[in-house]
Structure 1
Amino acid sequence: MTEIASNLFSRRSLLRVFAATAVVAAPSYSNAFGLLKGAGDIRRIRMYSGRTGESIDTIYWIEGNYIPEVMKEINHFMRDWRTGDVKSMDPRNVDIMAAAHRLMDLSEPYMLLSGYRSPKTNAMLRSQSGGVAKNSLHLVGQAADLRLKSRSVNQMAKAASACAAGGVGRYSRSDFVHMDCGAVRSWGA
């Protein structure tokens, strides 16, 4: 852990983070990140990729600002693992993922199934499945497909929906939840 990150974990900062877990999300998009606005001085994301074997557990936002170097690490982590292509991920989507994670009150990292998708990968997946959108938000770095061992698809989807900040898709048969920062909507069972 870096010196900056270890200094952030003062008793006061930790108390603010824990207190923020009880905050309820605001109902409109302009206030969609209410869960995180009261979260104190830091925002954190935890994920691992079964595809690449990589993991990330990082603070990406401190005192009102995204950390550019860390966002680059997140972009690389969420790259199209099939092609190696990297896209700048929309920080709003990382915020939704972090807020949903905080609502579920767990330390288990998300398993990232799909972040950015290149047009080539998206076309290949569309040819194999009817559930892949032609103009997927994965193509523009605004979506992620995630799984947790300790939470059901419904639990994850409810937490993401509580953020009222984007699309939430339930894929129960495939055991994952799609989260994006597009229009507020939901689908799947």
Structure 2
Amino acid sequence: MPRASAQSAPSGSGELEPPPDIFDAQALDLEFWLKPRTIDVIRPASGERAKLLYWRDGELIESAYQDLCHLLRDVNGKETALIDPKLFETLWGTQAFVARYGIDTPLEILSGYRTPASNQKLREAGVPAARQSLHMEGRAADIRLANLNSEVLGGLVKSFRQGGVGFYYRAGPRGGWIHADTGLKRTWKG
């Protein structure tokens, strides 16, 4: 996976305001990508939280992978699907990267896998959901990370160069979110 780096620490306001060159996708050393991977996630829709070691010594830990797939299930359609392991690389890389700068909070998973029926219900309700959404293939997640605004979080996810990044800005205390997927490399604002 390509690497990312930041050149500044969080400001006292709780949000990072990035200078134009904050992300350098080649700056992290190889050791960062070889260490064991523990991901800390929360699903606000179901109230679940888990901190799982899912990758060690170059191997996916099957039981933890299955637990993560369950956490990223369609909570509305009550179905679980296999999630692309590359998506977990992006989620873990994002969380591990910001932890180096004192942001050690769980990654909020707002949406993971979606059944076609759940995806259609969102579309009918006016929620931005593509007809051929990668959520339905287990290749996308909508995420949020405390203390990072959508621009900073999306810029970090984009720097990994692993797929698509959608920026969804919303006013209010919970703010927006970022769509991350393992499809074609592209960005958009919704």
> How far apart, CA to CA, are the structure 2 residues paired with 1:37 and 1:93?
20
CA shift, 1:140, in A, is 0.4
| Counterpart in the other structure of 1:39 | 33
> How far apart, CA to CA, are the structure 1 residues paired with 2:168 and 2:30?
26
Is 1:131 equivalent to 2:128 in the alignment?
yes
> How far apart, CA to CA, are the structure 1 residues paired with 2:140 and 2:30?
19
* 8 A Cα contact 2:164 2:183, kept in partner: yes
| Counterpart in the other structure of 2:177 | 176
CA shift, 1:149, in A, is 2.2
* 8 A Cα contact 2:157 2:165, kept in partner: yes
| Counterpart in the other structure of 1:48 | 42
CA shift, 1:51, in A, is 1.0
> How far apart, CA to CA, are the structure 2 residues paired with 1:151 and 1:62?
28
Q: Let me know the Cα RMSD of the aligned residues.
A: 2.3
CA-to-partner distance for each residue in 1:4-23, whole Å, 9 max, x for gaps?
xxxxxxxxxxxxxxxx9859
| Cα 1:107/1:36, change in 2 over 3 Å | farther
> How far apart, CA to CA, are the structure 1 residues paired with 2:29 and 2:179?
19
| Cα 1:101/1:151, change in 2 over 3 Å | same
> How far apart, CA to CA, are the structure 2 residues paired with 1:104 and 1:131?
27
Q: Give the % identical residues.
A: 28
Q: Secondary structure at the match of 2:79?
A: coil
| Counterpart in the other structure of 1:110 | 107
Segments of structure 2 that go 5 or more residues without pairing to the other structure are 7-23
Is 1:88 equivalent to 2:82 in the alignment?
yes
Q: Secondary structure at the match of 1:39?
A: helix
Q: Give TM-score scaled by structure 2 length.
A: 0.79
CA shift, 1:80, in A, is 0.3
Q: Secondary structure at the match of 2:165?
A: strand
| Cα 1:130/1:75, change in 2 over 3 Å | closer
> How far apart, CA to CA, are the structure 1 residues paired with 2:85 and 2:97?
18
> How far apart, CA to CA, are the structure 2 residues paired with 1:153 and 1:36?
27
> How far apart, CA to CA, are the structure 2 residues paired with 1:50 and 1:60?
21
Q: Secondary structure at the match of 2:33?
A: coil
CA shift, 1:37, in A, is 6.5
Greater fraction of residues in helix: 1
Q: Give TM-score scaled by structure 1 length.
A: 0.79
Q: Which amino acid aligns with 1:148?
A: L
| Counterpart in the other structure of 1:158 | 155
